[in-house]
Chain A
Amino acid sequence: MHLPKLHGAHVPHRKNTAGMRPERMPTPKMVSIPMSMHIGAPAEPLVKPGDQVKVGQLIAKAGGFVSSPVHASVSGKVKRIDDVLSGMGRFMKAIVIEADPEQETLEGLAPPVVTDYQSFVDAVRESGVVGLGGAGFPTAVKLSVKDLSKVEAVIINGAECEPYVTSDTRTMLDDGDLIFEGIELLKKYMQVKRVVIGIEKNKPQCVAEMQSRAAKTQGVEVMALPALYPQGGEKVLIYNTIGRVVPEGKLPLDAGAIVLNCTTLAAIARYIKTGMPLVEKVVTVDGSAVREPKNVIAPIGTPVSDLFEFCGGFKSEPKKVLYGGPMMGIAMPDLSCPVMKNTNAVLAFDERDATLPEPTACIRCGSCVDACPLNLMPTEIESAYEKRDVERLKKLKANLCMECGCCAYACPAKRMLVQTNKLAKGLLAADAAAKRAEAERKEKEKARKEAAK
């Protein structure tokens, strides 16, 4: 079967830290662990100021089905439950813990009892694991499948297509055992027949490592994918590994696939093996302002300033600091922002790298159209948005945009295409909401008239 190739952008790799084994940083004095480190309802605190907690202890329970529990990443005393600044610049509830000098793990931490599919999904829920590639979608929800026969393949995402970020690279090199234990769990409890590990070609050592392990395992294939951003985008990865297209408004499962980030899978396997929930992350610390870029093992909730300090501090004043890679990362408002479950990198850039070129007029060269992996027309979306033309935006399928940034990267006029696209999606959502409200109002009106008769 011949599949047309998807477009993308040839972004620089800058995997400076790929060869660096993660180093454990000293326990931070204070951590602030947010209740919203996942998509869905915030977790609900179970502790109050003054409580003593230990590493691995449940401190907040899931706030609903689409939510995730949160565990203490250090042992110490709960100082307060407070609003802290999130990466998005909003305030979010967080449990602030002052760490003890001696770090104690919760006694009685034992591997969960997993016997069947249901107990497996329960264990995943209790582990606090969410999509660690960046999305933060609760993994237990993703694995809650009504009809397991629909799962034709599980795709392990080791693409790691963002520049700089190497935490998944390290998982594949250092925690290969856990990834393959995770694969065995999926095979055993979810009857998964086919597992595909997708890795960008620019990580030959990871491809080789995974291949040598896959050779000893039934039903696991490793695919070396082109080093073309955004290879790790869910829809792109599904298409490039198993050749399926996820239709608009549907889930990967509707295309027969579940995609799990390799670090997510390793975290699940670690919990089921040891009983230790997700309390720490390997975080790539890099960027032009950082003195000694490193991969750092950091407790969740650690202020990013502590990570930079552990990496020798700044060699120049940081002007922009990101959660995640430069293509889709979020610029954080303040260095006090904490490491979250889905933080795979924190990057600090100096003045030069923090300054984006000024946008100039669109020359309609079509570079953005050529770059879009989803075959959208960013320049047309931009002009439709400027006219607030909702019908045209619908026709252009602005809603499909995954904000990967290829268009803005490719644009010679340096237009803020992703920003406009986000706004366009907001406009579409607002329009849909207004239409729904209008329909509801009419419905009520009708009911009222009926009743009056």
Chain B
Amino acid sequence: MTSLKASVSPHIRGSRTTHRIMLDVIIALMPTLVASVILFGFRALLLTAISAAACVAFEYIWEKLMKKPITVADLSAVVTGILIAFNVPASMPIWELLVGDLVAIVAVKMLFGGIGCNFVNPALVGRVVMFLSFTADMTNYSYPAAAVDALSSATPLALIASGSIGWEHFMDILCGVHGGVLGETCALTLITGGLYLCAREVIKPIIPLAYIGSTLLFSWIFGSPDPVLSIFSGGLMLGAIYMATDYVTTPFTNLGKLIFGLGCGLLTSLMRVFANSAGAVSFSILLMNLVVPYINELTMPKPFGGVTEK
């Protein structure tokens, strides 16, 4: 008779799980992976697979060594791995990519306590470390065979900044038929994945909209030659939709998310217009990651009926 279980209410739970959320992010990234393989060839798939596998392996090995519960089944390492691969060009040497994975998983994620405990986005730190360590390889962009002449040398961001391309190449830019890293060029599939994530309520559209919208606005204010084209190029779509929406390193509340998105947009425009455009998105998001605790504190929701003690 005493075989009944006792536990604190509630006795039912919703269907959302961390695993399902991560799986949705992976699903959302798939169209972009397909686009990347079409644009940059088989090596895009190879690098992505290696990066994802490496991230899972690093997490697993770390947890084994530290005698901690194995958490790789939550798929968050797979997401990190795909995102890191999406941030390198097709010609990236594999060992350099592995360095990025190692930094992201071990130094940024696991050393701080694993999922939920990192204060900056692991994939972005991985990217920045690779960018600073292997600058030449990280900017040795591949160019899709199908790219028109104008788009077959520098990245569109650089071209727009110098005023050498314009709207006649809009469709090429939208579809990603230009130079860049694996996962950033095809704005079309990135947006499609973002819509899927919003529909699945994995992310709210606030941060991407605030980020992209404010980048547009501030770029125009700061005198960018073509602010509209510039939001479709470079790492902005990938960053705004998939990196700036990482739960752990972004604010809780809608107001907090808005502030975060606007801050990212301001920093990105400043860097793009007045400094080097490469890496602007990564550095902007990382800088904003650092102020998230303060944003959370400032935008703490007002408890219903709460009375402040005098």
* A binding-site residues for B, Cβ under 8 Å: 6, 9, 11-12, 89, 163, 235, 239, 245-249, 317-322, 326-336, 349, 353-357, 360-367, 369, 373-377, 379, 394, 396-397, 400, 403, 405, 408-414, 416, 418-419, 422
Contacts and interface: CB of A to CB of B under 8 A. Distances in A.
Contacts of B307: 247-249
A412 B304 contact: no
B66 interface: no
A220 B185 CA distance: 62
A366 B307 CA distance: 23
B9 A375 contact: no
Interface residues of B, number: 40
Given A334-B1, A360-B71, A361-B116, A409 B13 contact: yes
A366 B252 CA distance: 5
28 contacts: A12-B12, A235-B305, A247-B305, A249-B307, A319-B3, A321-B4, A326-B10, A331-B4, A334-B4, A349-B11, A353-B11, A354-B5, A357-B17, A360-B115, A363-B247, A363-B248, A366-B252, A366-B253, A369-B252, A369-B253, A375-B301, A375-B304, A375-B306, A400-B303, A400-B305, A405-B10, A412-B21, A413-B116
Contact of A369 (B1, B9, B301, B305): B301
Contacts of A322: 11
A116 B252 CA distance: 54
Nearest to B301: A375
Given A409-B10, A413-B18, A245 B304 contact: yes
B116 A246 contact: no
The residue in A331, A361, A367, A409 that gathers the most chain B C-beta atoms within 10 A of its C-beta is A361
A382 B1 CA distance: 34
B8 A361 contact: no
Contact of A409 (B7, B12, B302, B303): B12
Nearest to A423: B8
B74 interface: yes
Contact of B12 (A163, A249, A362, A419): A163
**How would you classify the secondary structure of chain A's contact residues: helix, strand, loop or mixed?**
loop
Contacts of B304: 6, 235, 239, 245, 373-375, 400
A411 B14 CA distance: 7
B300 interface: yes
A360 B22 CA distance: 14
A12 B253 CA distance: 26
Interface in B12-32: 12-14, 16-18, 20-21
A303 to B, nearest CB: 11
Contact of B7 (A249, A356, A411): A356
List 10 tightest A-B contacts by C-beta distance, closest first.
A405-B10, A366-B252, A397-B303, A365-B247, A419-B8, A412-B16, A374-B304, A248-B307, A375-B301, A326-B11
A380 to B, nearest CB: 8
A396 B297 CA distance: 11
Contacts of A364: 116, 247-248, 252
B303 A376 contact: yes
B298 to A, nearest CB: 13
B306 A418 contact: no
A367 B16 contact: yes
B309 interface: yes
B171 interface: no
B302 A375 contact: yes
A331 B117 CA distance: 33
Interface in B269-310: 300-307, 309
Contacts of B115: 360-361, 363
B2 interface: yes
B132 interface: no
Nearest to B306: A397
B6 interface: yes
B223 interface: no
A361 B300 contact: no
Contacts of A335: 1, 4
A271 to B, nearest CB: 31
Contacts of A353: 11-12
Given A400-B304, A400-B305, 7 more contacts: A322-B11, A360-B74, A363-B18, A369-B301, A412-B17, A413-B116, A419-B8
Nearest to A403: B9
A361 B117 contact: yes
A30 B71 CA distance: 52
